[in-house]
Amino acid sequence: MKKYYKETTNFKTTYRPIVEGLDTMLNAYPERDVLVQIRHLDIIYGSGFKKFRAINDLSLNIYQGEVLGLVGESGSGKSTTGRAIVGLTPYQHGHIKLEDVVVPRKFSRGFKFGKKLQDYKKTLNYMANKVQMIFQDPANSLNPNKNIEKVVSEGLDNLKNSRLIALATFDLAVLKELSTKGYKKELCTFLKVAEKKYYSTFESSHVFNKKTLYTDVRDYFAKANKPESKELVKFLNDKSKEREKFEKMSDKALKKHLIVDILKQVGLDKSVLSRYPLEFSGGQQQRIGISRSIVLRPKMLVADEPISALDVSIQAQVVNIFNELKEKFNLTILFIAHDLRMVEYISDRIAVIYKGTLLEVGPTHEVVKNPLHPYTKSLLDAVPSIESKKGSLIGFVYDPSMHKYTKEVQPVW
């Protein structure tokens, strides 16, 4: 087992001791596919005597298809971590990797030429296509001078891939409909993949294989001679004709179809297209922000406290929208919040962070029912509930002096 993490840059080589149990924590789910890999991350704001270390030696995995809740009080480094993943905040040490793409420490064109420039543009294109962020304040993140159609289509206009996304979305809908009809097991056999890689088989190349889905699968079921084969062949033939009509549409028409469809997914209709962001309530603005991010069909979505500025009644609606979109589009979500009880409802796993230091991470039910770190317990007690014991509403309060975490002193896993 390695005792030190080694990092070499143009100017120096640094060694950092690996805390006890870190490998065990990071390899807790060897059977799952890692989408985001964060290792020994340091983020520092400012320099000299004004230097502030926002993130200390953060190591974390985010798995394909999961919702990871990142919780902590204000100023703990939650938003900084999320912004670093999408490339908005530069980092000074460690690395962030999405699939096989390493996020640059700082996105800057600089003096790059030849292969370096090509690699930079390739990384930039990947990040724009596959990683999106929903910001905390919807009113400030939406351009008030553009109508909703322009706001939601902003990413599509920049990337010019409306046709590709529209056809891919149509094909995925057909694939999911086949699953609901009870043919998932047969399709997995045909595709020679495990069930957990069912959708990613079509998504891995970023382009759905029309021949595989509409010709090869149809012929496969036609040869099976099962009672339901005729119905299935007819279904695929009808969808193939529908897709051909789709292909004949102009890019502009396909883009509008995408926008209307994604707005419908969040509970809005096409009547809002000509209106402006400031005409909507906070909850509606957040739905528009969600639509703008999801319309590009990203793999990774960073939701930076998307419900903290909303009324309690609206919070539940927005969280339900996230759950539905996750299932529909096979999303991986980093859900940032300070309300552990709300995160409990949506997350598969929870990570707890305090002053830039990761304190605890685990399955939601384990973290909530049996918190190991006293700070996690204080976060749970901070939200009053019906089950709470009578007495002070404050509950248990964490005393940071009991641990005194620093760059050198980190929690043992």
DSSP 274-333: TS-GGGS-HHHHHHHHHHHHHTT--SEEEEESTTTTS-HHHHHHHHHHHHHHHHHHT-EE
Query: Residue 391 pLDDT > 70, yes or no?
Result: no
Last residue of a domain, one of 214, 238, 253: 253
- Is 264 a domain residue? no
Query: Residue 349 pLDDT > 90, yes or no?
Result: yes
Mean confidence (pLDDT) of the chain: 83
Query: Residue 313 pLDDT > 70, yes or no?
Result: yes
192 and 113 both lie in a single domain: no
Last residue of a domain, one of 193, 218, 253: 253
- Is 89 a domain residue? yes
- Is 239 a domain residue? yes
How many structural domains comprise the chain? Answer: 2
Question: For residue 351, what are its two tokens?
Answer: 């990570």
- pLDDT (0 to 100) of residue 378: 85
pTM of the model: 0.86
The whole-number average pLDDT for the span 171-192 is 73
Last residue of a domain, one of 234, 253, 272: 253
Is the separation of the CB atoms in 165 and 156 below 8 Å?
Answer: yes
Return the higher-pLDDT residue of 314 and 37: 37
- Is 270 a domain residue? no
For tokens 């190991």, what's the residue? 372
90 and 214 both lie in a single domain: no
Round to whole Å and give the CA distance between 50 and 53: 10
Percent of the chain with pLDDT over 90: 32
Query: Residue 260 pLDDT > 80, yes or no?
Result: yes
Range of the domain at 186: 158-253
- Look at 117-131, 223-237, 254-268 and tell me which has the smallest mean pLDDT: 223-237
126 and 29 both lie in a single domain: yes
- pLDDT (0 to 100) of residue 108: 77
171 and 225 both lie in a single domain: yes
- pLDDT (0 to 100) of residue 246: 86
Return the higher-pLDDT residue of 193 and 247: 247
18 and 122 both lie in a single domain: yes
Query: Residue 267 pLDDT > 80, yes or no?
Result: yes
202 and 346 both lie in a single domain: no
- pLDDT (0 to 100) of residue 210: 64
Is the separation of the CB atoms in 265 and 294 below 8 Å?
Answer: yes
Query: Residue 191 pLDDT > 80, yes or no?
Result: no
304 and 396 both lie in a single domain: yes
Percent of the chain with pLDDT over 70: 86
CATH code of the domain covering residue 25: 3.40.50.300
12 and 141 both lie in a single domain: yes
- Is 258 a domain residue? no
8 and 141 both lie in a single domain: yes
- Is 397 a domain residue? yes
Report the sign of the C-alpha dihedral through residues 40, 45, 48, 49, in that order: negative
Return the higher-pLDDT residue of 206 and 67: 67
Is the separation of the CB atoms in 296 and 127 below 8 Å?
Answer: no
The whole-number average pLDDT for the span 82-98 is 93
- Is 153 a domain residue? no
Query: Residue 36 pLDDT > 70, yes or no?
Result: yes
172 and 40 both lie in a single domain: no
- Look at 18-27, 211-220, 309-318 and tell me which has the smallest mean pLDDT: 211-220
Q: Residue 154: which residues within 8 A CB-CB, separation 6 or more? A: 143, 146, 292
9 and 139 both lie in a single domain: yes
- Is 150 a domain residue? no
131 and 188 both lie in a single domain: no
The whole-number average pLDDT for the span 150-167 is 88
Is the separation of the CB atoms in 99 and 332 below 8 Å?
Answer: no
